[in-house]
């Protein structure tokens, strides 16, 4: 068997030349491949050439400005001016997370504006000196030497400028400086300046609220970008501010406050405290200017508190309008309760006369008839023992005597507003409850959803006994509220509040003057806190108005007087006359006689048949006082000691001083 392999036919040419036909095919394939490669290379050259030309034109020959959508993450649009507040309710700016605050008409009170922080990485700087020179052209206030030092440092992060405007940010961005970057931020601004400054409060460097509604609604403002609508009306706020400032200047008072509140729902329409400050300069405002006298200041209410004494007596059935009370000075222990020497009225006064003439001893007798327990319960139910519920963190607690030592002297002095200290808003709240049908409202700085019209809705019918707002507690019957409205109207029409009258608005109210407490205790003679608390219009109660002047001085026009009838009451009249038309209320002179008749109450109402009126020979308060005096003489005869009851007022004043001394200087009320 032959194992020698046979040669393959192709092997015949393995070592020799190939045929000419095979070599030609290989060469043709190679040339075809080279041609394809040349075509592909040519296409790529054309494409790269087109891109190069386009880039040269866009970046060197004819550079294009950046598109808005390209720079939006760094440079937000500049907000448009809206001086009339027409679109304030729709203010939601990009790059701003804190919601704006607007008044009831949509006027911006607080708004956050987009700003930027400029920082740099010096390690990426090509020419720090040139960069500094360019930045100086955009930022005129830039410290060129300091900036050059920073940009030349070996650090990787340095701040160049803070809180620059969007326009400046865009200008710096257009400089194209390598190593310059932007950090978005915002800055809180208050377009209305001094308007409601203490209510607005302020924010810290991190935009967190530190006072006022900025602090109270801090989480809401940071979590919900929809504007927060307050119940304030900046038009009314401005008028109240102007009139109060004028009164403060005229009477050289050291401080003042005024409040306008809707008696139907508790909305605060205006709240002014003077002196004040520009809200944009919160950090540099003096403590006395930041002090909100309307809710933080504690003042003896004086005779404005007689309204509560009268309301208590009527509602609890202690007294009727025809009962009479002694105006003879009352001496208990070392104290004497009396009226001013210039007062000349009868020895026995009816309930309307007690209010109209503002007699201290008569008011004390009314409280004696009620007793300590009933008086405490009334004041507690009316909210005078606790902090006023309002959306302001600065709202303080009242200063009241201990209920354990609430003796007979405390009963009498509290009856005419001495021996207790309350914030003005508490007085306004109590006044509203006497006139709105007897409902105690919760004051609020928020606008109720059901009343968003600029001027509000028409005044309610005075006979409407329904609750003004859901959940309002009725403490006074409708019948007694009607009597109190008539008594308040009588005080303005023929009593101490005559100067508060505003023709056509049927104002009702009560004056109050209290001597201030000195730094070392004891009352300061001729240094007063004068106040007026009122309602208008009395035939259909709509708004409560309160005016307080701290330590007013006498003028030639006041004939040496510093009492409320000469300063606070006329200021309230000026305010009512100016603000009423703004809120849709106009003077009614056509039906004046009919309205006055509906509000009429005689100074000395007749005693109904079958009733024995309180008065001479029938005065339980006198018996209570005599019993107390007997206990005093029996327990302390010859000891020279002061009973706990007699010392109550002095301890209360000492407690107040101690309380104020414990406060930081920024929170202390200014002394007279």
- What is the torsion angle, in degrees rounded to the nearest 10, for the CA atoms of residue 621, residue 623, residue 624 and residue 626? 120
Are 190 and 200 in contact by the 8 Å Cβ rule? The answer is: yes
The residue from 100, 112, 273, 303 that is catalytic is 303
For residue 320, count other CB atoms closer than 10 A to its CB. Answer: 17
Are 360 and 388 in contact by the 8 Å Cβ rule? The answer is: no
Alpha carbons 136 and 52: distance in angstroms, whole number: 35
- Half-sphere CA count of 9, side-chain side, radius 13 A: 0
- What is the torsion angle, in degrees rounded to the nearest 10, for the CA atoms of residue 657, residue 662, residue 667 and residue 668? 30
- What is the torsion angle, in degrees rounded to the nearest 10, for the CA atoms of residue 515, residue 521, residue 525 and residue 531? -10
For 105-132, the DSSP string reads T--EEEEEEEEEEEEE-GGG-S-HHHHH
Alpha carbons 515 and 303: distance in angstroms, whole number: 11
Alpha carbons 525 and 610: distance in angstroms, whole number: 47
Place of tokens 């306004």: 428
> Where does residue 43 rank: exposed (0-12), middle (13-18), buried (19+ CB within 10 A)?
exposed
Q: 140 in helix, strand or coil?
A: coil
Alpha carbons 113 and 435: distance in angstroms, whole number: 44
Residue 303: active-site member: yes
Are 647 and 630 in contact by the 8 Å Cβ rule? The answer is: no
For residue 105, count other CB atoms closer than 10 A to its CB. Answer: 18
Q: 558 in helix, strand or coil?
A: helix
- Pick the closest to residue 182 from 119, 254, 134 (CA basis): 119
CA angle 259, 260, 261 (to 5 degrees): 115
Place of tokens 């009607």: 482
For residue 149, count other CB atoms closer than 10 A to its CB. Answer: 13
Alpha carbons 528 and 292: distance in angstroms, whole number: 19
The region that residue 436 occupies, defined by phi over 0 for left and psi between -120 and 50 for alpha, beta otherwise, is alpha
Residues catalogued as catalytic: 303
């Amino acid at each position: 068997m032959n194992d020698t392999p046979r040669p393959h036919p192709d092997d015949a040419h393995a070592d020799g030349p190939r045929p000419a036909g095979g070599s030609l095919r290989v060469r043709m394939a190679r040339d075809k491949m080279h041609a394809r490669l040349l075509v592909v290379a040519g296409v790529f050259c054309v494409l790269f050439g087109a891109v190069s030309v386009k880039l040269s034109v866009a970046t060197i020959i004819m550079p294009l400005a950046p598109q808005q959508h390209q720079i939006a993450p760094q440079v937000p649009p500049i907000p448009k001016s809206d001086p009339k507040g027409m679109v304030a309710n729709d203010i939601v700016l990009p790059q701003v997370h804190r919601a704006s605050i607007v008044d009831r008409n949509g006027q911006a009170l607080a708004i956050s504006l987009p700003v930027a922080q400029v920082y740099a990485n010096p390690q990426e700087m090509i020419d720090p000196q040139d960069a500094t020179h360019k930045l100086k052209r955009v930022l005129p206030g830039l410290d060129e030497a300091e900036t050059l030092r920073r940009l030349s440092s070996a650090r990787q992060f340095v701040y160049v400028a803070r809180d620059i405007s969007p326009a400046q940010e865009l200008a710096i961005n257009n400089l194209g400086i390598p190593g310059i970057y932007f950090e978005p931020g915002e800055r809180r601004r208050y377009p209305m300046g001094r308007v409601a400054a203490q209510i607005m409060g302020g924010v810290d460097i991190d935009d967190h609220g530190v006072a006022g509604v900025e602090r109270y609604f801090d989480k809401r403002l940071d979590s919900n970008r929809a504007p927060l609508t307050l119940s304030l009306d900046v038009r009314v706020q401005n008028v109240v501010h102007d009139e109060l400032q004028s009164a403060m200047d005229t009477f050289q008072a050291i401080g003042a406050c005024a409040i306008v509140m809707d008696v139907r729902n508790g909305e605060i329409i205006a709240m002014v405290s003077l002196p004040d400050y520009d809200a944009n300069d919160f950090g540099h405002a003096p403590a006395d200017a930041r002090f909100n006298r309307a809710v933080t200041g504690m003042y003896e209410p004086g005779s404005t508190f007689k309204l509560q004494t009268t309301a208590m007596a009527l509602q609890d059935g202690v007294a009727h309008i025809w009962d009479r009370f002694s105006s003879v000075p009352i001496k208990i222990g070392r104290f004497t309760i009396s009226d001013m020497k210039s007062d000349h009225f009868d020895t026995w006064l009816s309930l309307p006369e007690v209010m109209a003439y503002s007699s201290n001893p008569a008011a004390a007798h009314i409280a004696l008839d009620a007793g300590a327990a009933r008086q405490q319960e009334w004041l507690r139910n009316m909210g005078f023992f606790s902090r006023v519920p309002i959306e302001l963190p600065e709202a303080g607690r009242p200063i009241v005597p201990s209920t354990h030592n609430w003796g007979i002297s405390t009963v009498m002095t509290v009856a005419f507003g001495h021996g207790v200290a309350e914030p003005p808003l508490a007085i306004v709240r109590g006044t509203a409850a006497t006139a709105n049908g007897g409902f105690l409202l919760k004051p609020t700085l928020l606008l109720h959803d059901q009343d968003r019209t600029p001027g509000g809705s028409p005044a309610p019918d005075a006979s409407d006994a329904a609750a003004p707002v859901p959940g309002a507690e009725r403490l006074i019957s409708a019948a007694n509220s009607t009597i109190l409205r008539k008594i308040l109207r009588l005080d303005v029409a023929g009593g101490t509040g005559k100067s508060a009258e505003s023709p056509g608005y049927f104002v009702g109210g009560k004056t109050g003057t209290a001597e201030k407490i000195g730094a070392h205790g004891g009352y300061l003679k001729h240094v007063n806190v004068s106040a007026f608390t009122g309602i208008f219009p009395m035939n259909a109660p709509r708004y409560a108005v309160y005016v307080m002047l701290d330590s007013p001085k006498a003028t030639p026009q006041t004939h040496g007087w510093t009492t409320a009838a000469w300063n606070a009451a006329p200021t309230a009249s000026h305010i009512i006359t100016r603000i009423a038309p703004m809120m849709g209320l106009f003077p009614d002179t056509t039906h004046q006689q009919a309205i006055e008749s509906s509000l009429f109450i005689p100074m000395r109402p007749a005693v109904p048949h079958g009733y024995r009126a309180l008065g001479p020979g029938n005065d339980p308060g006198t018996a209570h006082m005599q019993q107390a005096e007997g206990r005093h003489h029996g327990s302390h005869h010859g000891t020279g000691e002061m009973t706990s009851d007699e010392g109550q007022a002095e301890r209360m004043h000492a407690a107040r001083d101690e309380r104020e001394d414990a406060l930081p200087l920024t929170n202390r009320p200014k002394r007279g």
